[in-house]
Amino acid sequence: MSNSKNNLKTKILLVFILIPVCAFIIISLIGLINLKDIAELAIASGDTLEKNAVRDSRHAMYKESKDELEILTAEQALITDMHLKRIAVETQNIAGLYYDLRFKPEMSTNPLMRKIKIDAVSDEFSPFSIAPGADEERAIRDIGLLSTMYNFMKFIYVCNYSAEAIGIATDAGIYLGYAWYPMPRDFDPRQREWYKKAVNNPDRNVWFGPYKSASTQEEVITCSRAVVKDGVTVAVVMADISPKTISEDLMVSSESAGDAFIVDHDGCIIARNGVSDKKSLWNSGDKAEGRYGEDLISAMIARQKGVKRYIRDGKVYYIGYAPLLSIPWSVGVVMPEAAILASTFATQRSIETETKNYNSYINSYIDRTRLTYSGIGLMIFIVITGISVYISKRFRKSVIALEQGAAAIGNGQLDVKIKLNSRDEFQELAEAFSAMAGNLKQHISNIETNLSEQQRIERELAVAAQIQHSMLPRQFPAFPYRNEFDIYASTVSAKEVGGDFYDFFFIDANRLYFCIGDVSGKGIPAAMFMAKARALFRYEALSGISPDQILANAGNGLEKNNMSCMFASVICAILDVKTGELIFANAGHNPPLFYDGKAFEYVTLEKALVIGGFRQDKTAFKLQSFTLKKGDILFMYTDGVTEAMDCADEEYGTGQLQTDLDVMAGANPKEIIDYISGRVASHVDGAVQSDDITMLSLKFQG
């Protein structure tokens, strides 16, 4: 009986051991298979999301770019229209004054009509031209009357930089023009098209051109207006404007790979902004429909506005068009589809990279989970076997319950509660298993949530850093075709993105603009404020104004809607690479260092406040200048260099910077910046970077 009993106990023990072990194995296999299916589903879903994200990004970019192109075209039309309207208003004012002088005798006695000297410009003289066969008596009368107009015409000419010439032609054939240009022999203004068109269209301004001026032989556009008394034209006032003046207002830059043009009422291209050289092309016989298509030009002639798509030379373009208000012309702005979708392609590459990383993470997670399940299964098997052998006889029911509960938890059923009423340690163990399952479920949930959020933030910051770095010049040598100077710059953000910035580009053939700035704060807010600041400075610099005016205009632009009260310190400068003349202005920035062949010395800057926090005018910034000689070096930096701290909170300092620069006296800009970067890194010795570090160096070669 004893042997039989022992055999029976052994069988029961084996049964109770094998049942939970087999159940655990089956459930684990099912769980692993399901986990593999889930992983494959997750990877497939990720690939689908990738394709949908790229497609949606492209559609959104198309719509946003069309809206921006339509706004840009309307703004371009408004700018051009304002420029032409100013000429038209002044032409109308001259016509009104001539009418008053001729038909209101009391006006001729006004002291303001006497010819006086204007100190703003040299006192050129204005020619009178008398048409062949003109009546002598009427000529004398008209010359006397027109002479009183001299001072007024001169004032308008001096105050309007875009006016090439201003003139008045009487019905007797007498012509007064300002400023002076040689007139052709036998010149009769009454035979000119601008005179005839004005006579045929009384009481309104008439535009004509472009055509070659009879006096300057240069391409001009003329605005003319008839002076009418009792239905009879007694004179015609005209004002010439250079086509170049209008073309300079076209805002499309070479960086955007875009194009801008103006079409007249006959569908001819009268102005176009070249993509590569930004030179204006003027040809009244150049039909726009041959370049941009008949449908588009018909819409522009009909003074419509909108955006159209067209294909030229196998490439797709989008063109926005809008009419001018004061003249029956239209403005068109062309953008290549490749430029519109450039950011979409970058986004697509980023999404593809992130998808590959995500798939790799899923596969790695599956492998780790399989290993974990295997380890847990082995551990549970050993525990169940040991406990069953030791107390199988007394606690068989408790062991079975614990084995089943443990198997369920190991299978991922974390909602299972193991209930025992044995009132001993097994009951406590069962309660501990149940609590562990609940805690494990909550812990897994927290890990999944945190991982998802952390990955999203890291992806967004990585994209933001790529976008910010792409905004700054990164290709060196920057101007390999210019040997008058050498320039190099670098920036290292304290976080993924930062607020420091630099920029440089040619305003024209010989003038190089460059700047360096430091936005208050760090991270995403500083990066957004920096992007706005860089765009405003680039826009103002391209307008050709001086550095002090650039600081004032850009600072006032940053102040608008600046609810966070952020600000920036900036130094901007313009260098004439032919003469070495350097003009610059400071807005609360660190003083640069200058090497004149002897040693590096700090430049004494005029005091000025930072920009962006409040409105300031041009007088708030002082324009400084000096002339660079061959071998001179200028080194500019942000306070992240001098304030870089080591683990003992000791700063690198302005004195150490000057000492280290003297070691590199005469080196090229890249060698200087690389050396200073190494010296700063050696000083901090592994301490956490506390601020953005940006440097820019320029060496004048003469």
Exposure string for 526-558, b = 16+ CB within 10 A, e = fewer: bbbbbbbbbebbbebbeeeebbbbbbbbbbbbb
CA dihedral angle for residue 546, residue 552, residue 553, residue 554, rounded to 10 degrees: 100
DSSP string of 69-123, one letter each residue: HHHHHHHHHHHHHHHHHHHHHHHHHHHHHHHHHHH-GGGGG-GGGS----TTS--
Q: Is residue 264 part of a domain?
A: yes
Cα–Cα distance, 551 to 618 (Å, whole number): 8
Cα–Cα distance, 507 to 485 (Å, whole number): 15
Best CA proximity match to 566, nearest among 619, 614, 500, 616? 614
Domain end among 318, 340, 362: 340
Question: How large a percentage of the chain has pLDDT more than 90?
Answer: 25
Cα–Cα distance, 55 to 32 (Å, whole number): 35
Contact 340, 65 (CB under 8 A): yes
Domain end among 340, 355, 379: 340
Q: Same structural domain for residues 157 and 194? A: yes
**For position 599, what pLDDT does the model report?**
93
Identify the DSSP state of 495.
S
Q: Is residue 412 part of a domain?
A: yes
The CATH number of the domain holding residue 306 is: 3.30.450.20
Confidence band, pLDDT 50/70/90 cuts, at residue 510: very high
Sequence-ordered alpha helix ranges (H) in 104-238: 136-147, 150-159, 193-200
Q: Same structural domain for residues 438 and 409? A: yes
- At residue 411, what is the residue type? N
Question: How large a percentage of the chain has pLDDT more than 70?
Answer: 76
Q: Same structural domain for residues 211 and 293? A: no
Cα–Cα distance, 219 to 357 (Å, whole number): 61
**For position 285, what pLDDT does the model report?**
44
**For position 386, what pLDDT does the model report?**
72
Q: Same structural domain for residues 256 and 140? A: no
Q: Is residue 82 part of a domain?
A: no
Averaged pLDDT for residues 76-95: 83
Best CA proximity match to 51, nearest among 347, 460, 357? 347
Q: Is residue 97 part of a domain?
A: no
Domain end among 245, 273, 292: 245
- 68-82, 289-303, 366-380, 389-403: which has the minimum mean pLDDT? 389-403
Can you name the residues that pair with 306 across neighbouring β-strands?
321
Q: Same structural domain for residues 417 and 446? A: yes
Q: Same structural domain for residues 673 and 550? A: yes
Q: Is residue 14 part of a domain?
A: yes
Please name the residue that has the structure tokens 């200087």.
672
Token pair in block for residue 527: 């990066």
Containing structural domain, residue 482:
472-700
What is the distance, to the nearest Å, from the Cα of residue 455 to the centroid of all Cα atoms in its chain?
Answer: 27
Contact 347, 54 (CB under 8 A): yes
Averaged pLDDT for residues 612-618: 89
Best CA proximity match to 152, nearest among 237, 253, 266? 237
Cα–Cα distance, 291 to 532 (Å, whole number): 35
Is the bond preceding residue 210 a cis peptide, omega within 30 degrees? yes
**CB neighbour list of residue 511: distance below 8 Å, 6 or more residues apart:** 574, 575, 576, 577
Q: Same structural domain for residues 456 and 531? A: no
Answer yes or no: is pLDDT of 458 > 60: no
**CB neighbour list of residue 658: distance below 8 Å, 6 or more residues apart:** 593, 600, 601, 602
User: What mean pLDDT, rounded, does the chain reach?
Assistant: 79
Cα–Cα distance, 113 to 202 (Å, whole number): 26
The β-bridge relationship of strands 163-170 and 330-336 is unpaired
Q: Is residue 686 part of a domain?
A: yes
Q: Is residue 203 part of a domain?
A: yes
Q: Dmax of the chain from CA atoms?
A: 158
**For position 124, what pLDDT does the model report?**
45
Q: Same structural domain for residues 381 and 415? A: yes
Answer yes or no: is pLDDT of 45 > 90: no
pLDDT tens per residue across span 90-129: 888 888 888 888 888 776 666 555 444 434 333 444 467 8
Q: Same structural domain for residues 517 and 598? A: yes
Domain tally for the chain? 4
Q: Is residue 375 part of a domain?
A: yes
